[in-house]
Amino acid sequence: MKVWTSPGRRTGFRSLALAGLLVLGGCVGGDVPYGMPQPGGQGIATQPVVDNAPRLPASGEVIGTGETRVALLLPLTGEGNASRIAAELKNAALLAMDDVGLNALELVVKDTGGTTEGAAIAAGQASAEGAAAVLGPLFSANVRAAAPPLGMSQTPMIAFSSDRGAASPGVYLNSFLPQGVVQRTLSYAAGQGVRSVVAILPEGAAGDIAEAEARRTMLSMGGEVTAVARYAYDNMSVYEAVQGVADAVRAADAVFIPDGGTSPATIASTMTETGIDISGKKLLGTGQWTSANLADPALQGGWFADTDQSRVNAYKQRYQARFGAEPSLTSALAYDSVVLVANIAKGGGGIQRHALETPVGFNGYTGLFRFLGDGTTERGYAIYEVREGKAEIIDAAPSRFGGGS
């Protein structure tokens, strides 16, 4: 049996959040507005915003000279990894301002300290200073704390948490909600004839989310999750989980393993080594599999949903050229969000909820996404198959919502 080790990337299906506004080939599909402008501040040709209201002094670091003020709330002095992530998000915002032009926005960066109190204070300042929108905060508790001060002024927020519970009308989550990745993987599999699935999931909130969405998706597609096993991160726990669903696996069409790191290969090899024949079973995962060893023979032929990595890599290359380091995908959220609100602001009339909730959505570095009225996000994902140790797209991410291509 493989020895389980703690995967380097374990954030509850990218629990911080993850996305970007890129126009590949220099144009966006006709149904999808607000794509990324060409570098050099060309932007999208629109009428300038006319705002005759007096401008109050802004507290925080100011980037840009635009008429429309937008606040960016980040844990710049937060504990642990918070400050590092915040620095990346700020750099990504600088890169976005390079592209849209400094006259597109007045971006005010405010430090939350990574605390709920700091987030509430920063949000209150942003509201009092007349911000047309607030980007951030990063963590779900901070998002909840920042929402009430902004609700009083009806200032929209685009936050970076992937906790669905932090969303509400006017509080949008520019993140990868794990439910969407699970739904895409399983709905694709069901479309290819998979009707019965066994789910082997980690203990805790991430496993709870994956189980609930797996059951919902399979039911909606005319299939079923026939059994669920949970494991902690040790070999005995994995062994017991696998043995507990052995008979169900033998009768199922597929096994769903949404976790990343060493978990997918360890679980697959444990099934084989304990006498469960999975040669005719399809292994299903999520974008967490990009942190797994895809060269492991046990994972060949597996399917999982994730963003279009060619777009992600284009963002990372641009960031590295500008700042000299490879960024996390989380940082692309700030880039996307700044470009999005800048292009809406250029159209005049401020940054209104109806513009943020446009049904056709936005086309980003990590694909297509749109904000729904309840604040959650719908995204378009690609389906990958593991072939010869690499992930290759077998079903492209959509280029627009509504069944278009």
Does residue 168 share a domain with residue 32?
Answer: yes
Residue 18 falls inside a structural domain? no
* Residue-wise DSSP of 201-253: EESSHHHHHHHHHHHHHHHHTT-EEEEEEEE-SSHHHHHHHHHHTHHHHHH-S
Residue 22 has pLDDT above 50, yes or no: no
Residue 403 falls inside a structural domain? no
Compute how many other C-beta atoms are within 10 angstroms of the C-beta atom of residue 15.
Answer: 19
* Measured distance CA(285)–CA(255) in Å, rounded: 9
Residue 7 falls inside a structural domain? no
Residue 10 falls inside a structural domain? no
Does residue 270 share a domain with residue 390?
Answer: yes
pLDDT in tens, 121-157: 999 999 999 999 999 999 999 999 999 999 989 999 9
Residue 107's beta-bridge partner residues? 63, 70
Does residue 133 share a domain with residue 34?
Answer: yes
pLDDT in tens, 256-275: 999 999 999 999 999 999 99
SS3 (DSSP) at 70: strand
* Measured distance CA(98)–CA(377) in Å, rounded: 26
Residue 16 falls inside a structural domain? no
Residues 6+ apart with CB under 8 A from 45: none
> Strands 196-202 and 224-231: what pairing?
parallel
The enclosing domain of 69 has a CATH number of: 3.40.50.2300
Residue 277 falls inside a structural domain? yes
* Measured distance CA(271)–CA(267) in Å, rounded: 6
State the greatest distance between any 2 C-alpha atoms of the chain, in Å, as a whole number: 74
**What total number of domains does the chain contain?**
2
* Measured distance CA(206)–CA(21) in Å, rounded: 28
Residue 397 has pLDDT above 70, yes or no: yes
Residue 1 pLDDT grade (very low, low, confident, very high; cuts 50, 70, 90): very low
Residue with tokens 């493989």: 2
What's the pLDDT score for residue 338? 95
- Of 265, 268, 209, the C-alpha closest to 14 is 209
What's the pLDDT score for residue 264? 97
What's the pLDDT score for residue 46? 35
Mean pLDDT of 391-398: 96
What's the pLDDT score for residue 349? 83
Does residue 225 share a domain with residue 94?
Answer: no
Residue 5 falls inside a structural domain? no
> Strands 106-111 and 69-74: what pairing?
parallel
* Residue-wise DSSP of 78-104: -TTTHHHHHHHHHHHHHHHHHHH-TTS
What's the pLDDT score for residue 333? 86
Residue 53 pLDDT grade (very low, low, confident, very high; cuts 50, 70, 90): low
Does residue 196 share a domain with residue 164?
Answer: no
User: Among the listed ranges 26-35, 81-90, 94-103, 266-275, which one has the minimum average pLDDT value?
Assistant: 26-35
Residue 368's beta-bridge partner residues? 363
Does residue 234 share a domain with residue 292?
Answer: yes
* Measured distance CA(23)–CA(29) in Å, rounded: 9
Does residue 320 share a domain with residue 302?
Answer: no
Does residue 290 share a domain with residue 389?
Answer: yes
What's the pLDDT score for residue 59? 94
Residue 2 pLDDT grade (very low, low, confident, very high; cuts 50, 70, 90): very low
Residue 212 falls inside a structural domain? yes
Residue with tokens 């980007």: 135
Residue 256's beta-bridge partner residues? 199, 284
Q: Which domain holds residue 266?
A: 179-306+383-395
What's the pLDDT score for residue 55? 64
Residues 6+ apart with CB under 8 A from 280: none
Residue 35 has pLDDT above 80, yes or no: no
What's the pLDDT score for residue 54? 60
Report pTM: 0.85
Residues 6+ apart with CB under 8 A from 111: 60, 74, 75, 76, 77, 118, 122
Structure tokens at 311: 């777009």
SS3 (DSSP) at 314: helix
pLDDT in tens, 153-187: 999 999 999 999 999 999 999 999 999 999 999 99
Does residue 185 share a domain with residue 80?
Answer: no
Mean pLDDT of 323-342: 93
More confident residue, 19 or 219: 219
What's the pLDDT score for residue 56? 78
> Strands 282-285 and 254-256: what pairing?
parallel
User: Among the listed ranges 41-45, 294-298, 338-342, which one has the minimum average pLDDT value?
Assistant: 41-45
Phi-psi domain of 9 (left: phi exceeds 0; alpha: psi -120 through 50; beta: other) = beta
Residue 391's beta-bridge partner residues? 386
What is the percent of the chain where pLDDT is above 70? 86
Does residue 317 share a domain with residue 300?
Answer: no
Q: What one-letter code names the amino acid at 12?
A: G
Does residue 253 share a domain with residue 201?
Answer: yes
Does residue 322 share a domain with residue 253?
Answer: no
SS3 (DSSP) at 364: strand
* Residue-wise DSSP of 106-130: EEEEEE-TTSHHHHHHHHHHHHHTT
What is the percent of the chain where pLDDT is above 90? 79
Mean pLDDT, all residues of the chain: 87
> Strands 303-306 and 382-387: what pairing?
antiparallel
Residue 365 pLDDT grade (very low, low, confident, very high; cuts 50, 70, 90): confident
What's the pLDDT score for residue 20? 31
Residue 363 pLDDT grade (very low, low, confident, very high; cuts 50, 70, 90): confident
